[in-house]
Amino acid sequence: MHGLIDKRVRDILERAYGGLSPDRDACAHLLSFDESSLEAYAVRSAASYIVRGRNDNSAIILGQIGLEMAPCPGNCGFCAFGKDHAQMRPSRISDEEFAAKVIDFCRDDDLYGLYLMGMHDYDLDFFLGKVRLAKKLMSGSTQILSNIGDSEVEAFAAMKQAGVSAIYHVCRLREGSVTDLDPKVRVKTMYNALEAGLQVFSCLEPVGPEHTIEELLDNLFIGIELGCTQHAVMRRVAVPGTPLAKYGQISNLRLGHLVAVVALATFSMPTMKYIGVHEPTEIGYVSGANVVTAETGVNPRDHIAETSDNRGMDMTACRKMILNCGFSHIRRGNEDKIPINLDYVESLDRPLET
Ligand code: SF4
């Protein structure tokens, strides 16, 4: 079978087995194959083998709590919150509801990090209040992460002081064309976070069938050039009522192919730790991804106000995904490893005590 695979793909993968990531040109070659080609299967397998081998076959769970929803001036054509097409009523989480979600996420100390997700235009004091409340309620090793709009260094410094360790931020595909935001400001925000001492988690997103390989690579390499700590791929979900829903979605098999190329392009970076796939799918976890995300509250990829009732996965579903995808450990926020097996998953699948 070896001889059947394109020689250049073989060479790229052999260099990766030796510790060398493919450069942009090599990534373009890997992405040029159809997702059901023999080459794509080889790329997905190699990425998973390499990433798992460097990380003791571990995966992590990230949680996300959506704090608020209002029609958003970002107006992204793929997002349920865009001001010209938002269909939800504005809402903000109460302290009681927020506290119950934090306790639920963190009670077994196997959540690596918890995102607090605000809007593009957010109230810093409101956000910091939620960070401080989360900090007070957490007794284990879970890190607090932030997912908010464009921000200056000072805002990130205040978040760091309140207990945030990293941000999720992205300059999205066709930013400024399918969104009302400025791509330069999106990228500057990531550098602002680094300057404030926060880690940056980036993502190639939101990928649709219409994107060219060059567009995908431009986006992927923003995270690489700035020295992100996590990278990921998100396929665009055709959210009903959003303008870009008409283009449809890429398959999960193509999503896995993209995850594999991102994993190969980033595994050798000294800053890199984990690779995500959105939304969580088994194919992604046998293609190099090792981050599973649980979501509750509002979610830009969902038209339902409480995403855990629809698209979002809970902690038990995340643990089952990790077990079923053959990982042997879950990592805590302090990088400690917990062996994962059926007893572990079933013993934690219990109702809330509160
Ligand atoms: S993706 Fe973010 S910035 Fe864009 S409309 Fe949605 S909430 Fe606003």
Under 8 Å between Cβ of 166 and 145? yes
Residues touching ligand 1 (Cβ under 6 Å) are: 72, 74-76, 79, 81-82, 119-120, 149, 179, 300
The string of pLDDT tens digits covering residues 37-46 is 999 999 999 9
Pocket test for ligand 1, best of 79, 85, 168, 303 (most atoms within 8 A of CB): 79
Decide if 303 is inside a domain.
Answer: yes
Decide if 354 is inside a domain.
Answer: no
Decide if 232 is inside a domain.
Answer: yes
Nearest Cα residue to 165 out of 113, 211, 102 = 113
d(CA 211, CA 31): 12
Rounded distance from Cα 243 to ligand 1 centre (Å): 13
Rounded distance from Cα 13 to ligand 1 centre (Å): 37
Decide if 284 is inside a domain.
Answer: yes
Under 8 Å between Cβ of 333 and 349? no
Domain count for the chain = 1
Provide the CATH number for the domain around residue 173: 3.20.20.70
d(CA 75, CA 73): 5
Decide if 173 is inside a domain.
Answer: yes
Which pLDDT value is given to residue 352?
Answer: 61
Print pLDDT tens along the chain (354 aa): 556 899 999 999 999 999 999 999 999 999 999 999 999 999 999 999 999 999 999 999 999 999 998 888 999 888 888 888 887 788 899 999 999 999 999 999 999 999 999 999 999 999 999 999 999 999 899 999 999 999 999 999 999 999 999 999 999 999 999 999 999 999 999 999 999 999 999 999 999 999 999 999 999 999 999 999 999 999 999 888 888 899 999 999 999 999 999 999 999 999 998 999 998 999 999 999 999 999 776 566 556 555 566 567 889 999 999 999 999 999 999 999 999 999 999 999 876 655
- Domain that residue 23 falls in: 2-347
Alpha carbons within 13 angstroms on the beta-carbon side of residue 317 total: 18
The string of pLDDT tens digits covering residues 292-333 is 999 776 566 556 555 566 567 889 999 999 999 999 999 999
Considering the entire predicted model, what is its pTM?
Answer: 0.94
Alpha carbons within 13 angstroms on the beta-carbon side of residue 164 total: 29
Residue 47 tokens, joined: 């990425």
The string of pLDDT tens digits covering residues 151-194 is 999 999 999 999 999 999 999 999 999 999 999 999 999 999 99
Under 8 Å between Cβ of 232 and 145? no
Rounded distance from Cα 290 to ligand 1 centre (Å): 25
